[in-house]
């Protein structure tokens, strides 16, 4: 199985527009891997993309992706979905359309039932954006808890009873990858996570000193919402996970690509994602 990290950035990608902090300046000068687009991954064998942040078009070009046949959504938050117009970029053929030609291979869009419901709520003045792409024949839309393509199986495990966010368990033969990009705290309890080869996880604050020297105090409410590194280490130990890759890296963490490379040395089996990173199992 070959997984590409298409985008490793957070809710705010790097460089942040108009920001002249050290990290953004360097990202602007050097480009990737110092720059980070919104959070998404791609499974090469089955041409499957998870999430479409607003800069996905640019990110797919950077990652050298040659086709997208399936799109899964982790949840409906804008930082993971506002690039939905990529369906048009990928599939719209205005010239063919003008002579009555229909798109022959729509993209299969899938997510948890509640997430599909929320995605359909994303509207412009004409109505639901997703409904429009479906009507245009650019996509087909289905809710699902499990997707099987060839010998790859993906389980969508709801984070809690509201079922508004999924953790993905991706298996191929004896290999297992967990993808948990956002809003996954508290982390759901599930036997399926045991012994995974790789956990790719977002939702983590990296370091106690952040952008512009901001010190993350013990009582800061972000600690409730996001994991800290010790919690990631505990999760890794609890489920016997071989390797963890931390993604959804916010510009607010105030760290450059080089800083993350340096920081990796302090942890056993924990790495930090960058755009274009490949995970091969
Ligand atoms: Zn900045
Ligand atoms: Zn997010």
CATH number at 208 reads 3.60.15.10
Could you give the angle at the alpha carbon of 78 between the alpha carbons of 77 and 82, nearest 5°?
135
**Is residue 23 predicted with pLDDT exceeding 90?**
yes
Is 60:37 a contact under the CB 8 Å cutoff? no
- Closest of 71, 99, 89, 88 to residue 133, by C-alpha: 88
Cβ-in-10-Å burial (0-12, 13-18, 19+) of 204 comes to buried
Give the domain extent around 67: 2-280
Mean pLDDT within 151-168: 98
Cα of 224 vs centre of ligand 1, distance in Å, is 24
**Is residue 149 predicted with pLDDT exceeding 90?**
yes
CA terminus-to-terminus distance, the chain: 5
- The DSSP output letter for 112 is -
Cα of 182 vs centre of ligand 2, distance in Å, is 5
Mean pLDDT within 98-124: 95
Cα of 16 vs centre of ligand 1, distance in Å, is 5
| C-alpha to C-alpha distance for 180 and 276, rounded to whole angstroms | 18
Cα of 225 vs centre of ligand 2, distance in Å, is 12
**Is residue 264 predicted with pLDDT exceeding 90?**
yes
What pLDDT score was predicted for residue 270? Answer: 98
Q: State the pLDDT confidence band at 97, using cuts at 50, 70 and 90.
A: confident
Ligand nearest the Cα of residue 18 is 1
Ligand nearest the Cα of residue 10 is 2
What pLDDT score was predicted for residue 255? Answer: 98
| C-alpha to C-alpha distance for 4 and 7, rounded to whole angstroms | 9
Domain count, the chain: 1
What pLDDT score was predicted for residue 210? Answer: 97
Cα of 40 vs centre of ligand 2, distance in Å, is 10
Does residue 102 or residue 69 have the better pLDDT? 69
Q: State the pLDDT confidence band at 104, using cuts at 50, 70 and 90.
A: confident
Classify 157 as helix, strand or coil. strand
Ligand nearest the Cα of residue 13 is 1
Cα of 152 vs centre of ligand 2, distance in Å, is 25
**Is residue 103 predicted with pLDDT exceeding 90?**
no
What pLDDT score was predicted for residue 102? Answer: 84
What pLDDT score was predicted for residue 131? Answer: 98
> What's the whole-model pTM score?
0.97
């Amino acid at each position: 199985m070959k997984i590409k990290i298409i985008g490793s950035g957070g809710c705010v990608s790097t460089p942040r527009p108009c920001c002249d902090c050290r990290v953004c300046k360097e990202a602007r000068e050097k480009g990737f891997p110092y720059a980070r687009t919104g959070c998404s991954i791609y499974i090469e064998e089955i041409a499957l993309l998870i999430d479409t942040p607003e800069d996905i078009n640019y990110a797919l070009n950077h990652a050298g992706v040659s086709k997208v046949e399936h799109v899964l959504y982790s949840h409906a938050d804008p930082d993971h979905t506002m690039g939905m117009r990529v369906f048009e970029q990928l599939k719209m053929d205005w010239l063919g359309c003008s002579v009555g030609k229909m798109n022959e291979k729509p993209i299969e869009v899938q997510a948890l039932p509640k997430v599909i419901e929320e995605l359909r709520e994303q509207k412009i003045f004409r109505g639901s954006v997703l409904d429009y792409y479906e009507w245009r024949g650019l996509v087909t839309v289905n809710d699902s808890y499990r997707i099987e393509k060839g010998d790859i199986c993906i389980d969508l495990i709801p984070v809690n009873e509201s079922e508004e966010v999924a953790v993905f368990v991706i298996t191929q033969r004896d290999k297992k990858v967990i993808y948990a990009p956002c809003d996954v705290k508290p982390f759901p309890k599930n036997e399926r996570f045991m012994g995974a080869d790789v956990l790719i996880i977002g939702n983590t604050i990296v370091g106690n000193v952040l952008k512009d020297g901001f010190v993350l105090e013990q009582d800061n409410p972000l600690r409730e919402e996001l994991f800290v590194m010790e919690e990631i280490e505990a999760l890794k130990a609890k489920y016997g996970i071989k390797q963890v890759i931390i993604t959804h890296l916010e510009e607010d963490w105030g760290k450059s690509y080089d800083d993350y490379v340096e920081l990796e040395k302090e942890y056993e089996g924990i790495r930090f994602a960058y755009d274009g990173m490949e995970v091969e199992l």
